[in-house]
Amino acid sequence: MRTWPKSYPLAFLIALLALLPVFVLMQLASDSAEIFDSRNLTVLGNTLALMGLTVVGAVMIGVPLAFFTAYVHMPLRRLWLILLAAPLAMPSYVGAFTLYFSFGRGGEIEQWLGIPTPPVSGLWGTALVMALYTYPFVMMTTRAALLSQDASLINASRTLGLSLGASIRRIVMPRLWNSVAAGALLAALYALSDFGTPAILGLDTFTRVIFVEYNAFGLSQAAMLSLQLMVIVILVLYLESRVKATPEQPGRHLLFWPTKVQRWLMQLAALPPFLLAIVLPLVIFVTWLLREGSGGFEWAYAWNSAYASFLAAMVAVVLALPVAHAALRGQAGRLMERITYFGFGVPGIVMGTALVYLGLKLPFLYQTLALLVIAYVLRFLPLAVGSVRTATENLDGGLVNAARVLGASPREAFMRVTLPLTLRGMVAGAALVFLEAMRELPATLMLGPTGFETLATYLWRVYEAGYFGHAALPGIMLVVISGFGLILMLSGERRTEFSI
């Protein structure tokens, strides 16, 4: 009587689609003679260390902030959420550059304030910057899970005499690990695939080796190295898949009403990541803006960014549904889901090139907005899949059973019960894709319609040329538009609020 779950065919198609760029990489790599260069071993060590530290940092920042945004009642809650998620909209190379530029001997901070600061560089500096720009992955997935946990369990634990903090540690955290892990996975893959940050901060990682090859037109070697990087990706994917959750019914939603002083303290503690990741770069750019003036910025760039990213976010979430669904149905589905993560672990330029090859197979799509959106989706699908999956994973099957006994088909039960109850996860997923697409560069450059300029490409253009003043406006716009995008999506989440 075992039949294939309904989501399998769709998930299979999507997984296949996600695998296509990997096939291209394999084909490109087939020309390459060199399999592995033992000189890359230290580089490998650096890469793994960076990944590990990034994950630790992102979790340490992201999880407390998830609690802060999910459970603490305060005025302007949504604004806080937006500010704290905003680092995802800022390209991390920009952050790396400005942090490097501000800290250390002779840095901007020392010049303004006369206070010597330690330099941000090397392994620790890179990990810090990486964590600053990836913690929102963890924050968003964790927050979504926190919002659907039943608060009566904390109550039970407190009546058993456990303090609030300890209750959170023992009752909330253990049920949260799968969501934290889903976010951490994304942070890890980001750390693996990012080129700019370690390069600017002087850390020799795998992506640099790939980049050097790529720039020397050793595309096949770069593809081969990327495939090797995917071995690490597979390992990380495997580790993450071992974190499992216990399903439960969503229930009352917990909210804390801190005193004014407590609230101030919490807000003060929540501020540094935002200051470092967003305010500092913008301040630096604005000072340059004042020194040398701006030029060449067009509002159309902002619209292009927002439009393409929004489309990508929507498509990604829709495609994430069958994949996430399949992942919870069995081993095969789980595998399909894991495959969709590959696109996120390969360095952007290599992935971008692979997508060019792919796009050229469909000349009517090549260099159209549609292909760009497809590229975004292929790269960022895991952001949506992870969020949707963890939200669905935590949901007890009892409610679906109730719907089916009332005569709803699995599809209807999914649409009317599972979906609304996992909407938070979907919103989180859409938000992540949106923000990530806003800052995406290589694929935008390579695949967008000719002349299609976005905030990220413009920012890169002026940054790359050393005209930092021109970077101020697009930088601010990135943050502002990300904010609007988030507001739009969060208002969808609000409608499902079933708390008291």
Stretch that binds another protein, among 232-240, 327-335, 396-404, 478-486 (CB under 8 A): 396-404
- Which of 23, 295, 303, 487 binds another protein (CB under 8 A)? It is 295
Contact assessment for residue 100 and residue 121, using Cβ atoms and an 8 Å cutoff? yes
Q: How many chain residues interact with another protein (CB under 8 A)?
A: 105
- Within 412-451, the residues that bind another protein by CB under 8 A are 412-413, 416-417, 420-421, 442, 445-446, 450-451
- Nearer residue to another protein within complex by CB, 351 or 431: 351
Binding to another protein by residue 45, rule CB under 8 A?
no
Dihedral in degrees, nearest 10, Cα atoms 190, 193, 197, 202? 130
Interior/surface letters 35-58, b for 16+ CB within 10 angstroms, e for the rest = eeeeebeebbebbbbbbebbbebb
* Chain residues 270-289 in contact with another protein, contact rule CB under 8 A: 288
Taking the C-alpha atoms of residue 368 and residue 329, their distance in angstroms, rounded to an integer, is 36
Work out which of 32, 78, 124, 251 binds another protein, going by CB under 8 A.
251
**Out of 71, 211, 344, 376, the residue judged to bind another protein by CB under 8 A:** 211
Binding flags for another protein, 1-40, as an x/- string (CB under 8 A)? x-----------------------------------x-x-
Q: Which of 53, 382, 47, 359 is nearest to 228 (CA)?
A: 47
Nearer to another protein, 75 or 363 (CB): 363
Three-state DSSP class for residue 485: helix
| CB-count exposure of residue 112 (10 Å: 0-12, 13-18, 19+) | exposed
Extract the tokens encoding 86: 């905003």
Structure tokens at 114: 């006369």
Cβ-based nearer residue to another protein, 340 or 457: 457
CB of 453 to another protein, least distance (A): 8
Number of residues in the chain: 500
Report helix, strand or coil for 466: coil
Rounded-to-integer distance, Cα 126 and Cα 197, Å: 6
Helix axis angle, 348-360 relative to 369-393, nearest 10°? 120
Q: Which stretch binds another protein (CB under 8 A): 66-74, 249-257, 299-307, 430-438?
A: 249-257
When the beta carbons of 383 and 400 are compared against another protein, the nearer one is 400
Which span (5-13, 247-255, 332-340, 385-393) binds another protein, by CB under 8 A? 247-255
Handedness of CA 114, 117, 121, 122 (dihedral sign): positive
Under the binding rule (CB under 8 A), the answer on residue 212 touching another protein is yes
Q: Can you tell me which of 263, 368, 467, 480 binds another protein, judged by CB under 8 A?
A: 467
* 409 part of the interface to another protein, by CB under 8 A: yes
Q: Which of residues 136-175 bind another protein (CB under 8 A)?
A: 150, 152-153, 155-164, 167, 171, 174-175
How far is residue 434's CA from residue 309's CA, in Å, rounded to a whole number?
5
Tell me the closest approach of the beta carbon of residue 271 to another protein, in angstroms: 28
Given the complex with another protein, which of 235 and 396 has the nearer CB atom? 396
What single letter denotes the amino acid at residue 385?
A: V
Residue number with CB closer to another protein (8 or 341): 8
Are the CB atoms for 380 and 190 separated by under 8 Å? no
| 256 strand-pairing partners | 72
Please give the Cα distance from 134 to 139 (Å, whole number).
Answer: 9
Under 8 Å CB-to-CB from 162, ≥6 apart: which residues? 170, 171
Q: Which is nearer to another protein, 335 or 356 (CB)?
A: 356
Q: Which is nearer to another protein, 272 or 296 (CB)?
A: 296
Q: Pick from 6, 56, 124, 248: which binds another protein (CB under 8 A)?
A: 248
Smallest separation (angstroms) from another protein to the CB of 483 = 27
Q: Give kind and range of the element (H or E) at residue 182.
A: helix 177-193
* Closer of 389 and 470 to another protein (Cβ): 470
Estimate to the nearest angstrom the gap between the alpha carbon of 295 and the chain centroid.
31
**Interface segment toward another protein; rule CB under 8 A; list 80-88, 229-237, 380-388, 468-476:** 468-476
| Angle CA 379–233–423, to nearest 5 | 50
Of 44 and 356, CB closest to another protein: 356
For residue 248, list its beta bridge partners: 395
72: which DSSP letter?
B
224 binds another protein (CB under 8 A): no
Per CB under 8 A, the list member of 27, 30, 249, 491 interacting with another protein is 249
* Residue ranges in 335-394 that form contacts with another protein under rule CB under 8 A: 349, 352-353, 356-357, 360-361, 363, 366-367
Site residues for another protein, 82-121, by CB under 8 A, read 100-101, 104-107
